Amino acid sequence: MSAPENGVNAETVRKIARLSRLHVAEGRLVPLADELNGILGWIEQLNEVDVDGVEPMTSAVDVSAPLRADQITDGGKRDAVLANAPKSDSGFYVVPRSVE
Amino acid sequence: MSDLTNLTLESALTGMASGDFSSEEITRAHIDACMEAADLNAFITTTFEQAMDMAKASDARRAKGEVGKLEGAPLGVKDLFCTEGVKTTAASQILGDFKPPYESTVSANMKADGMVMLGKLNLDEFAMGSSNETSSYGNVVNPWKNGEELVPGGSSGGSAAAVAADICLGATATDTGGSIRQPASFTGTVGIKPTYGRCSRWGIVAFASSLDQAGPIAKTVKDSAILLDSMAGYDPKDSTSLNVDNGDWVNSCGKSIKGLRIGIPKEYTVDGMPTEIQSLWDQGIEWMKDAGAEIVPVSLPHTKYALPAYYIVAPAEASSNLARYDGMRYGARVDGENLNDTYERTRAAGFGPEVQRRIMIGTYVLSAGYYDAYYLRAQKVRTRISEDFKNAWENCDALLTPTCPSAPFAIGRKLNDPITMYLNDIFTVTANLAGLPGISVPAALDQDGLPLGLQIIGKALDEDTVFAAAGALEKAANFTAKPKKWWV
C-alpha cells in the first residue's frame, strides 16, 4: 500500500503516543507507524466523496439537547466513590506528586 | 423433567407462569449447563450464588402475584454493563477489580422486571473487535465447530455463544458497528440493535458514544422482542435517550407482512463474498415474496464509505472516552517516575494492542491540523449515508441484506490484519452510522454446516416493522439446527 497523503512516521507516532498518554517503547515506533499508515491509507478513500455544502452529522436521531433544573440530585457517597481507588487515605485519593 | 435449557425465553416464562417449574429449577439447570460449558469461555465472571438468591426471590414474588416481564428468567449480561457490586471489566486489564457502586439503567430495568443474572459475559476489549479475540480474558469459542475451533464473532461473542449453547435463555449485548448482529449471525442466534436512543447508555462502559447502542441476543425473534421491551425506555440520565414509548414489539413478531415493501440494496454485494451468501440472500427475497411482501430494488450509493467513516468516528470518540482510564480513581495503576510516566505506563499495561491502536488513530484524527481532513469529513460522509437511507425509504419500508460477508472463521485467522477484520462489519455498520434499527435472523447453514444470518434494517423508531419482517423471515427459514454439544 502506498504511503497515505497524511501518513505518519516514527516521530509522529511518538507525538500521538504522548498525546494519548501511552508509553510506547522506542522499537515499536516504526512498526506502529506502518500499522497506522495501513489504516490511514484505507480511510483516504473518503476523499472521493463530494461533501460540499453537507452538514456534519452530530446525532443519529433529531432531538434537541434536554435541560434539567440545576439541582443536586446525587452525592454524599465518598466511601462508595473511593472504594475502587488504587490508593486512598483518610477520605482522599492518593496520587503521584504533580507539582515539584 | 425435560431439559429446561432447551426452552426459549418465551416458553420458559410460560412454563413458570403455569407452574410447570420454578425459577429456582430453571436457574439451577442453567447454572449446571454453564459449568459444563466452561471450555467456551463465555463468562468473565459468574454470579451463580446471587443467581440462586435472585431465583428464590423471584419465586417468592410470583407466589404473591408479582410477575415482571422477565420474571425468573436466567439471563447473561455482557461485561460492558456496570452491575452493582459485581466486578465489571469491559474485558480489559485497565479496570482491575472494578466493582461498580451503581447499576446500568438497562440491567436495572431487567432486574426490576425479574431477571435472574447468571454472570458477566466475555467480549472484545472495550467492545473493539469482531471475533472476541481482543478480550484480555481469553477468546470465546463458538459452539458451532467445523473441525477447528471458530470465533463466535464480536464484540458480543460471549453473549452470542452463551445463547447458542443454551447456557443462558438470552443475553444483553451492545452494538457500535455490528457487535450484536455479526455474532448473532455467527452463532445461529437472533440479535437486534434498536434505534439509537431506545436503550439508555447510562452505566454501559462507553466506546463510541454516538454509535453505541444496547440490545439483546436471543434464541428467537419473539424472545428478542421480549428482552428489548424490558431493556428499552426513556432515561433522563442519558441525554441521548429518546422520550418515546416502546412499540407493540412482542405482538409485531407474528404480524403479516403482506404488502410490505422490502428494499434490496444493490451495493450490498461485495467482492469475494461467498456465493452461498448471495444465494441465501436470493432465497430470503423469495421468502419475503412468498409472505406477501413487495420487493423493491434500491440504491445506497455511499455504502462503501461507511466502514472508513466508522474507523474515523469510532476511534475518535473512543480516544476521548478512554481518556478517563488514568489509574488514579479506579482500576489498575502502574507507578512510573512521575505523574505523566505513571499515566503512560498504566495505560500501556492496561490496554491491549487493538485498543491502543484505536486510541492512537482517534487521537491523530482529532489532533490539530487534521480535524477537518478526517473527523469533520467523516461526519459529513455520515450525513451522506443517512441521506441514502432517507431516499430509500421513499420507495420501501425496510431493507433485507446479508448480515455478514462470511461464515464464522477460525480462531487466529484474521487477528493480525486489522482491515480484513474490520470488513466483517461492512453490512452492519451503516445502521449504526445512521442510527437505524437492524436485526440478524439465522437463515441457513452453509456447506460446512455453519450458520448464516440475514439482516432486516428498518426506519428509525420503526422496530415494529423490523420485528414483523424478521418474524416472517424466521418462519420461512425455519432454522432449527443446533450446535452439537461437544463441550459437555
DSSP state letters, B282-337? HHHHHHHHHTTPEEEEE--TTGGGHHHHHHHHHHHHHHHHGGG-SSSSSS-----S
Query: Considering only CB atoms, which chain A residues are within 8 Å of B303?
Result: none
Cα–Cα distance list, B400 to A35, B39, B147, B288 (Å):
35, 35, 31, 9
Closest CB to B380: pick one of A56, A63, A65: A56
**Phi-psi category of B397—alpha, beta or left, where left has phi over 0 and alpha has psi -120 to 50?**
alpha
CB atoms within 10 A of CB B254: 13
Query: Considering only CB atoms, which chain B residues are within 8 Å of A17?
Result: 344, 360
Query: Considering only CB atoms, which chain B residues are within 8 Å of A98?
Result: 339
Cell 434536554 belongs to residue: A66
pLDDT at A1: 41
Run of H or E including B378: helix B377-392
Confidence category of residue B39, pLDDT binned at 50, 70, 90 = very high
Average pLDDT for chain B: 96
Q: Which three cell numbers stand for residue B12?
A: 420458559
Q: Do B311 and A43 touch (CB under 8 A)?
A: yes
DSSP code of residue B373? I
Type of residue at B75: L
Query: Considering only CB atoms, which chain A residues are within 8 Å of B367?
Result: 16, 19
Q: Please give the share of chain B, as a percent, with pLDDT higher than 90.
A: 95
Q: Do B364 and A16 touch (CB under 8 A)?
A: yes
| Spatial contact of B212 and B321, defined as CB atoms under 8 Å apart | no
ipTM, two decimals: 0.94
A75 touches chain B (CB under 8 A): no
pLDDT at A97: 86
Closest CB to A46: pick one of B309, B363, B434: B309
d(CA B163, CA B156): 11
**How deeply is B45 buried, as exposed, middle or buried, from its count of CB atoms within 10 A (0-12, 13-18, 19+)?**
middle
B237 an active-site residue? no
Pairing mode, if any, of strands B116-121 and B74-78?
parallel
Residue of A11, A36, A61 to mutate, interface with B, max B Cβ within 10 Å: A61
B145 an active-site residue? no
Q: What's phi and psi for A28, nearest 5 deg?
A: -95, -10
Query: Considering only CB atoms, which chain A residues are within 8 Å of B348?
Result: 22-24
Per-residue pLDDT for B485 more than 80? Answer: yes
Cα–Cα distance list, B281 to A47, B32, B62, B452, B477 (Å):
31, 38, 44, 10, 12
Pairing mode, if any, of strands B170-175 and B438-445?
unpaired
Per-residue pLDDT for B390 more than 90? Answer: yes
Per-residue pLDDT for A2 more than 50? Answer: no
Confidence category of residue B420, pLDDT binned at 50, 70, 90 = confident
Confidence category of residue A4, pLDDT binned at 50, 70, 90 = low
pLDDT digits 0-9 by tens, A26-79 = 999 999 999 999 999 999 999 999 999 999 997 767 778 888 899 998 899 999
Q: Which three cell numbers stand for residue B374?
A: 478526517
| Spatial contact of A29 and A10, defined as CB atoms under 8 Å apart | yes
A78 touches chain B (CB under 8 A): no
Confidence category of residue B2, pLDDT binned at 50, 70, 90 = low
Chain B nearest-CA distance from A3, in A, is 16
Query: Considering only CB atoms, which chain B residues are within 8 Å of A8?
Result: 364
Per-residue pLDDT for B33 more than 50? Answer: yes
| Spatial contact of B286 and B352, defined as CB atoms under 8 Å apart | no
Listed range (A1-5, A56-60, B72-76) with the worst mean pLDDT = A1-5
β-partners of residue B191 are B217, B440
A84 touches chain B (CB under 8 A): yes
| Spatial contact of B118 and B31, defined as CB atoms under 8 Å apart | yes
Q: Do B328 and A93 touch (CB under 8 A)?
A: yes
Cα–Cα distance list, B264 to B25, B294, B396 (Å):
46, 11, 9
Confidence category of residue A6, pLDDT binned at 50, 70, 90 = low
Q: Do B312 and A43 touch (CB under 8 A)?
A: yes
SS3 B93: coil
Query: Considering only CB atoms, which chain B residues are within 8 Å of A80?
Result: 101
Confidence category of residue B374, pLDDT binned at 50, 70, 90 = very high
Q: Give me the catalytic one of B78, B111, B219, B459.
A: B78
Cis peptide before B155 (omega within 30 of 0): yes
B69 an active-site residue? no
d(CA A62, CA B240): 10
Q: Which chain B residue lies closest to A31 (C-alpha atoms)?
A: B357
Per-residue pLDDT for B400 more than 50? Answer: yes
pLDDT digits 0-9 by tens, B114-124 = 999 999 999 99
Listed range (A12-21, B100-109, B421-430) with the worst mean pLDDT = B421-430
Per-residue pLDDT for B37 more than 60? Answer: yes
Per-residue pLDDT for B214 more than 90? Answer: yes
Could you give the maximum distance between any two Cα atoms of chain A, in Å?
A: 59
Q: Which domains does chain B have, with CATH numbers?
A: 1-488 (3.90.1300.10)
Q: Which chain B residue lies closest to A37 (C-alpha atoms)?
A: B361
pLDDT at B388: 97
For residue A42, give every residue at least 6 positions away whose Cβ sits within 8 Å of its Cβ, in sequence order, or none: A1, B308, B311, B419
Q: Which three cell numbers stand for residue B354?
A: 487493538
Pairing mode, if any, of strands B213-218 and B170-175?
antiparallel
Chain B nearest-CA distance from A2, in A, is 15
Chain A nearest-CA distance from B316, in A, is 11
Q: Do A84 and B99 touch (CB under 8 A)?
A: yes
pLDDT at A3: 53
Q: Which chain B residue lies closest to A6 (C-alpha atoms)?
A: B370
Q: Which three cell numbers stand for residue B119?
A: 454472570
**pTM > 0.95: yes or no:** yes
pLDDT at B417: 81
